[in-house]
Structure 1
Amino acid sequence: MRSEPGQTRSGTPTGPPDAPLLVLGPSLGTTTRIWQAQRARLGEDFRVLRYDLPGHGGSPTGALRDPSPGATTVDDLADAVLALVDDVTGGEEPSAFHCAGISLGGAVGAWLALRHPRRVAALALVCSSARFGAERPWRERAELVRREGMAPLRETSPGRWFADPATARTPVGRALLDDLAAVDPAGYAACCDALAGYDVRAELPAVQAPTLVIGGTHDLATPLGHARELAGLVPGAVLRTVGCGHLAVEAPDAVERALASFLAGGQAVARRMSMLP
């Protein structure tokens, strides 16, 4: 995986070099652009590292261990993110970082918090889920894009992504849909396979990191019930609702404020974790 395509060197966080690291994950079909509205403000207090999923933006599908149909899991995506974090920290002693993600990016963050509890100091799940629906529709979508490419999804995504499909005609909406159209179908399909097999409902009670859950009141892809389920399963999780669709682009300031407030408290946790043996 690569970070910040076209905006910084690959693998280079932005923000104060001595600030806590904040890793921001995207939704399926989007790139680092999805966090553009929040990057500047969050970058005042954190080293912000955004990443692209395989086949998206600046990250090649070849970054996957095995992109063949049915092979990719969220575990694979999370391992790649952790390797990126270790790479950008320059081989330093493994340290804790903050992690926030939208949809699939949230699933990657949750997986990291479960598999590497000492590494994730605070976790934010934005318009995400413990299980993104039944397996078969994801397998079918993967087959569709492998067969026909990204064009069919560019037509249908506005209804899933945005609270108002007219957002597709705004500069932000057009840019997001252009990014979607440029995704490598093999990488997109592999991420669909990862979502097909993702179900952490039984595991989430083991999450140790302080957790914020943000749910969109107009989210059709992961309706508010998904956020409520996440908040109910993760011990001590805080739930915030925002008037937005699945990508949360309709309310960037509200998402930014919720994250900034929550993560400010997480910095003290990171310092404590860094002192653990």
Structure 2
Amino acid sequence: MSRLTGNQESTAKGLTGMYAPTVPAREFTARSGDGVRFPVEVHGDAADPAVVLAHGWTCSTLFWAPVIRELTASGLRVVVYDQRGHGRSPAAATPQAYTTAMLADDLCAVLDVALEPGERAVIGGHSMGGMTLMAAAGRPQLAEHGAALMLCSTGAQHLTGQARVIPLRSERARHVAHRALLGASAPLGPVTPLTRKALAYGTLGPRPLPETAEATARIVHACPTGVRSAWGGVLAGLDLAAKVPYLKAPTAVVTGTRDRLTPLPHARRLAAMLPDCTGVHELEGRGHMTPLEEPGSVSAVLTGLARDHLTGATQGSAAATTMKESA
């Protein structure tokens, strides 16, 4: 039986090449603070150092396929899961139940089940996944397991006014327009040339590869409408700036220079607020979906963090392991 169900299985069939789904070596079941259970995938050898990844709004574990391939080839074990309501993770009972605390609860549940007590890992998040790490700042699980962090294509506050998807001159006008866009409850419908082009404009750089635009559209269109709208409402009012200084671990920031959803100033502000920023990696000409647009560069940042902060540490049930050289 396929591990994928419903919309996700249909979506996976249309993903090819480096975007084709990866098959996990193992699966666990995490139980979050509200009692909801959801699957956690582990890719790679159990003895290898661990990287835990949280995807963004309207995506799923399918989003990480090209990065998973890069990381496992470099001798890393990769843990991924679906954010609440995305992919195979159950939706919340009501739209009001979606909160940044839920994001943090679910990540902590993943760390509890997928890592051994005291095991250190590199933990990264893209977009809403990066906000998940910010929401979990100060949680004991993040302190215990987070040897280093990556915040990718994300921001801590003022998302709607500073976004550039709708290019209005006034920040106030952009705030109103983007707030309506994030909370929209209209179905996206099937992937067509028109919807693919519109989504690529908002989420990718100016000259995306056709296969990247196709993968982006298939993954985003698979997100349930109600889930997309509910989480969009959370993002519209997001303010996690006070949490960022509590991310004590060494943290790399990754951003696309043509990101319309979380433009470059967000990355620079995060870098200024972080206690230990290892650098801002600006991917020239890339948009918001940097792990799909340039998976090699995103993977290189994660591999570098693992090499600097995990090599020689005890990982899982294995004694000190030596990482393979990155391709």
Q: TM-score range by the shorter chain?
A: 0.7 to 0.9
Whole-angstrom distance in 2 between the partners of 1:247 and 1:51: 18
User: Counterpart of 2:147 in 1: which secondary structure?
Assistant: strand
Give % identity.
27
Aligned counterparts, 1:193-232, within 5 A:
193-232=233-272
Aligned counterparts, 1:113-124, within 5 A:
113-116=137-140, 117-124=143-150
Equivalent residues of 2:119, 2:314 under 8 A apart:
no
TM-score, normalised to structure 2, is 0.70
Q: Confirm or deny that 1:257 pairs with 2:257.
A: no
Equivalent residues of 1:70, 1:193 under 8 A apart:
no
Whole-angstrom distance in 1 between the partners of 2:178 and 2:226: 14
TM-score, normalised to structure 1, is 0.82
Residue identity opposite 1:198 in structure 2: L
Whole-angstrom distance in 1 between the partners of 2:206 and 2:182: 26
**What are the Cα deviations for residues 218-244 of structure 1, in whole angstroms up to 9, with x where unaligned?**
111111111000001001202111121
User: Counterpart of 2:42 in 1: which secondary structure?
Assistant: coil
Matching residue of 1:39: 68
Residue identity opposite 2:187 in structure 1: G
> How far off its partner does 1:165 sit?
6.1
Gap regions ≥5 residues in structure 1: 273-277
Aligned counterparts, 1:103-252, within 5 A:
103-116=127-140, 117-134=143-160, 140-141=180-181, 143-145=183-185, 148-151=186-189, 154=195, 156-164=198-206, 167=209, 170-237=210-277, 238-243=279-284, 244-248=286-290, 249-252=292-295
- What value does the CA root-mean-square deviation take over the aligned residues? 2.9
Matching residue of 1:26: 55
> How far off its partner does 1:85 sit?
2.8
Whole-angstrom distance in 2 between the partners of 1:261 and 1:87: 25
Whole-angstrom distance in 2 between the partners of 1:132 and 1:22: 29
User: Counterpart of 2:241 in 1: which secondary structure?
Assistant: coil
Structure with higher helix content: 1
Runs of 4+ in 1 over 6 A off after TM superposition: 2-6
> How far off its partner does 1:29 sit?
1.5
> How far off its partner does 1:55 sit?
2.7
**What are the Cα deviations for residues 1-52 of structure 1, in whole angstroms up to 9, with x where unaligned?**
x999863354230112022321111121222232222212312332201222
> How far off its partner does 1:270 sit?
6.6
Residue identity opposite 1:151 in structure 2: G
Matching residue of 2:309: 266
Q: Confirm or deny that 1:56 pairs with 2:86.
A: yes
Whole-angstrom distance in 1 between the partners of 2:118 and 2:237: 29
User: Counterpart of 1:118 in 2: which secondary structure?
Assistant: helix
> How far off its partner does 1:163 sit?
0.3
Equivalent residues of 2:156, 2:241 under 8 A apart:
yes
Q: Confirm or deny that 1:96 pairs with 2:138.
A: no
> How far off its partner does 1:111 sit?
2.2
Whole-angstrom distance in 1 between the partners of 2:50 and 2:86: 22
Gap regions ≥5 residues in structure 2: 10-20, 28-38, 161-174, 316-327
Whole-angstrom distance in 2 between the partners of 1:41 and 1:142: 32
**What are the Cα deviations for residues 47-76 of structure 1, in whole angstroms up to 9, with x where unaligned?**
201222223222231xx3x4x234311210
Matching residue of 1:82: 108
